[in-house]
Structures are given as C-alpha cells and as structure tokens.
Structure 1
C-alpha cells in the first residue's frame, strides 16, 4: 500500500499548482472526468454522448469544478467550448490526477488469481486506435489471464461470436444489428471535419455539409466507414465529391494535411500531424453527424465465464462508473 500512498501523494501535489490544497477534498473524479471529456471533444453535448450521461450532468460538474477552483476553465465559441489559458494548464494536471489515482486504486488487484483464457475478436479500427492500451492494462491487472486476439471484419466477428469461436468482441457497434448478439457501448467518439492548416473553411464561423460538399473529399472505407458516411450524407441534399476511397487512415491523414482534400473522421483516429509532419486541424460541423461508437459484443444467452466477466467489468469501471476521489 506504500506505492498506493505515493501515487495519491503525487496526485495531490499536482493540484497544489493552483493553491487547491485546502479544497482538494471537494474535487471528485467525476468532475475531472467530465472536464477532460469536454476539453477533448470541444462540446458539452458530445462529452455527454461519450460519457452516456445527460448534458446537464456535465454542465453541473464543470460548474462545480470551476467554483471549487475559483476560475473559469472554458469560454464559449461558435462551435462549442474552448479551454481558457487556465483551463489548458489545468487539463494537463487533470490527466495526471486521473492517471495517478486510477493506478493507485488498481494496485491491490495486481496479484489477481484469475487464471483463464479469453478469445477476443476486434475490428481494424478498434485494434489500431483503441484496444492495445487496454490490453496492456488488463495484462497488468490479471497476469494469469491469457487474451487471444483476432483481427476481423464485422461480418466475420458476428459469425464467430454466434458459432462460439470467439468469447467476446470489441468493435464499432453502429453497423451491428443482430438479435443474437448483446451489445454494450463503451465510448462514443465525435466525428469532425479534418482540414489542412490554413484551409479557408477554418475562417468561417460555422461549417456545414453543404460547405464540405464543395471540397474534394477523401473517403475512408475500412470498418464500413464509407457506409456510415453515406448514411448521414443521404439525409441531406448533398453528396461528397469523392477524390479518393482508401482503407488507409494514414493515407487520409496525408491527403488532408497536404491540402488535397478534406475528410470527416472520428476523434479516436485523429492525430494532429501527418507522417510528413504537416498539421491537421478539425472543425465541429453544424449539421448532425453521428459519433463513432465502440462497444463490447457477445452471444445472447451465453453463460459469462470469469474471463468474460473480468473483461466486461474492466470497461465498465474505466468508462461507465465515475468514482469519487473521497469516500
């Protein structure tokens, strides 16, 4: 438990930067978690979607945090909210606090006696941009849990779950509509417009799909991304002027960064730089674009094994059950 005490001490030290030592007990992980989600997504509504809670809960938590700190963390913008200078500084410390406390609280589980094997299927995007960090954490939490990981497309994942070849799956759930499967959402990652630096659309107060339709468009196809895109485009009188269809996220990134076209992709796969070192900017569209949802899946009426239960509870703990910093 000495290590746990050190972690929490480090978290407390991180808060002292703004003179909060007397107010630390008023902070909660819920407030910090909601603050971080809003800072990352730039919109309270999108943070609420990702956290699977109401917008009012996010707004209240941020207001409580600002009252505790005695300073404003966000300012209003046309596209949502933007971190103030203090907010940007506090975000780094919020990351450290959440990480330190989370690691400290997990220390007692390091010697878990769970000994089992979990056969897990995952789609390309999930495996490339979401799952590896969590697999590493699970390996630390459950050193005797063997996870056999398989990368597959959605159709193969569904068939494998139903036939019993795979115990569980982590995949994009928006295209799954199979009554034989149970789906449990984990995160909802906002989709935004990707633009090169200095793109004229960055100067507009708001950007719509009509504006995007006038630009050369780079269409990602992997994990049925094109199907999803055409679904929300079909609800408008516009259609993308597709310059390139590609299964490579890095190809999209390079094309956009070099000014060859624009794209609409999720924050989960966003990186601010291309392989060539060119900057990529993002804009929240005024028109509704559904987020990219990632979730767990398993066969309906399947008896949940200890390995499956541990895997599901890990993601519930990480994303669905905010914990108070005290009590």
Structure 2
C-alpha cells in the first residue's frame, strides 16, 4: 500500500511536536487550530498509527510519533535543500575547522548539522570539540578557537563576541506519568517546590536553575544532583523527583521505557538559547564563514530562532 502525505502535513507535525500545543503550532504556522487538528488527524490515518497523545495540557509524542519525527525532519531537510539548490555545484571550500561546542549543544543540537554540511561540502572536515562555557569564552577570546556554538544565554562576557541566535528552547517541568502535577494545565515554581528537585550538573545547568529559583524567592525542598542526563530521565520516570529543563533535551521515555511527561510553566523562566559566537573584529576564514552561513539559513528554515 502506498502511503500518501504532503510536505505541509509533515511541517505541521514537526511544529506540533516542537511546541507541544496544537494552538501554538497553528498560530506559528498562520493557520486555524481546526486546520492543524485536521492535518494531524489525516497524517495519523495515512500512517495508521497514533502520533500524539492528547491531554488537557497539550500533546506529547507517542513512541511511534517520536520515531516518525526523525523521518519527517529528514524529509523536510531534503526538500528544503532541493528547493535552495536544485542544480547546486559542489562547493569549492575545502579544509578543516575545529568547532567548539558545549555538552548540551553538541549532543542535542549540532551533530546532524555538521553531518549535513560535510555531505554538501565533501572537501570540508568539521571537527567538533567539546568545551565548557568558560573554555569556549577563553579560546574564542584568544583566537585559539575561531567559531563556536554555545548556550549564549550563559555567556559571562557577551559583549566581547559577535552572537547569532540559532534556536530558543522553552523550559518545562518534567514529571513521571501519574505524578500529581502531570495533568495540571500550568504550574508555578511554588507548585513545584514541595517535590524533590533534580539538578543537572551539566552546562552550568545548576547555576541557571538556582538563579530563577532565587529570583522567585523560592527554595526547592530537596536537591538531587547528577551530571548524567540519562540519570535525570530515569529519576524523573521513576518518580524520585522532578526537574525543569528545555524541550531541546526532552525525550518522552527513559532508557528502560518509562514514560516522562512535561507540564507548561506559569512562572516567567527564560528559554535556553543556542547560538554562534565569534570574536568581534575578527574576519572568519572561508570554511568558518561558510559553516556560519549554513547554520544561519538551515536552522532558521527548520524552526530555529
């Protein structure tokens, strides 16, 4: 049997998956909520599977929806590439560049873009180097690193660098399926405070979290610290605690298949912001400049900042 669906349906599906809300996805796509709902329903019918689980708080990907998201994203990327360069000749850019990136950016955002860029530019080799925020600021500042992709919302001396935002990822509460807050339409930090709070010790996540807790004048009842994102997911899924993290690092399942839910926050917590940085006054070499331009265009066309 031939499965038929349109690129527009895939675009709607990816937008709903990213926003977690039919209404938000419809507003972002400039269509009515009923149009968005119908498109998703038609896609699920064509695939003969449920892609989203519906709740009062929004929608979350099912296991099959999570798998299909990878394929849908790949199809949209290929279509966008064909539209941009239908008869593109091979790039004349060649050489090697070291690209600094933090743990979160490298693992959850950057690697697919590096792979695609190298496929389009076979003469280029991009070597990702994992560094923390202080190392990135230091090496870019001294010229040792020409270009980096980092959490620009964490920079200590942002005025030293050119910055180009690529993606902003909202933060939401993560809870286990069946948690008392799981079906709440929105939660405040005051609602979250009584529950053990899991504090990821990666990419200065503990500093960001403690900052917005402190700004709200609220203190979590108990802090559970870990440097492993998989440990965070497992603890949340087992009901050992809750956490607030960005959609970029969210996965709806722990490693052993336990369900994780997200709940929107009523409290004004800033999103996680990923972007390019390079030293002010420095002219990028052709390889770095080509990769910079590629990211600025490619990420924007796929739901970035």
In 2, the alpha carbon distance for the partners of 1:63 and 1:282 equals 21
1:250 CA drift (Å): 1.1
Contact 1:271–1:280 (CA under 8 A) maintained in structure 2: yes
Q: How far did 1:155 drift?
A: 0.8
Give, in whole Å, the separation in 1 of the partners of 2:40 and 2:258. Answer: 38
Q: Cα gap change, 1:290/1:267 in structure 2, threshold over 3 Å: closer, same or farther?
A: same
1:153/1:69 CA distance change after superposition, 3 Å: closer
Is 1:174 aligned to 2:153, yes or no?
Answer: yes
Counterpart-to-counterpart distance in 1, 2:72 and 2:197? 36
Distance verdict in 2 for CA 1:32–1:151, change over 3 Å? same
Correspondence 1:285 to 2:265: yes
Aligned partner of residue 195 in structure 1, secondary structure: strand
Indicate the larger mover: 274-283 or 138-147.
Answer: 274-283
* Structure 2 residue corresponding to 1:206, chosen from 186, 209, 215: 186
Matched, 1:37 2:15: yes
Instruction: Please give the per-residue CA displacement for 1:128-165, whole angstroms capped at 9, x wherever unaligned.
Output: 11111111111101111122321111111111011111
Tell me, yes or no, if the aligned pair for 1:34 and 1:61 is still in contact at 8 Å: no
Structure 2 equivalent of residue 196 of structure 1: 176
Aligned counterpart in structure 1 of residue 234 of structure 2, from 231, 247, 254: 254
- Whether 1:271 aligns to 2:278 is no
1:21 maps to what in 2?
A: none
Report the 3-state secondary structure (helix = DSSP H, G, I; strand = E; otherwise coil) of the residue aligned with 1:201. coil
Classify 1:316/1:134 alpha carbon distance in 2 versus 1 (closer, same or farther; 3 Å): same
How far apart are 1:107 and its partner, in Å?
Answer: 6.4
Instruction: Name the CA distance, whole Å, in 2 between partners of 1:248 and 1:146.
Output: 29
- Do the aligned partners of residues 36 and 72 (structure 1) sit closer, same or farther apart at CA in structure 2, a change above 3 Å counting? same
The 1:94/1:143 distance shift into structure 2, 3 A limit, reads closer
Give per-residue Cα distances to partners, 1:211-254, cap 9 Å, x unaligned. 11010011012111111111211221322223311221111111
1:60 to 2, 23, 30: 30
Following superposition of structure 1 onto structure 2, how do residues 84-103 of structure 1 map, counting pairs within 5 Å? 95=73, 98-103=76-81
**2 CA distance for matches of 1:70 and 1:258?**
31
With the length of structure 2 as denominator, give the TM-score of the two structures: 0.80
Match of 1:243 in 2: 223
Aligned equivalents of 1:196 and 1:322: distance in 2?
A: 30
- Gaps in structure 2 of 5+ consecutive residues: 44-51
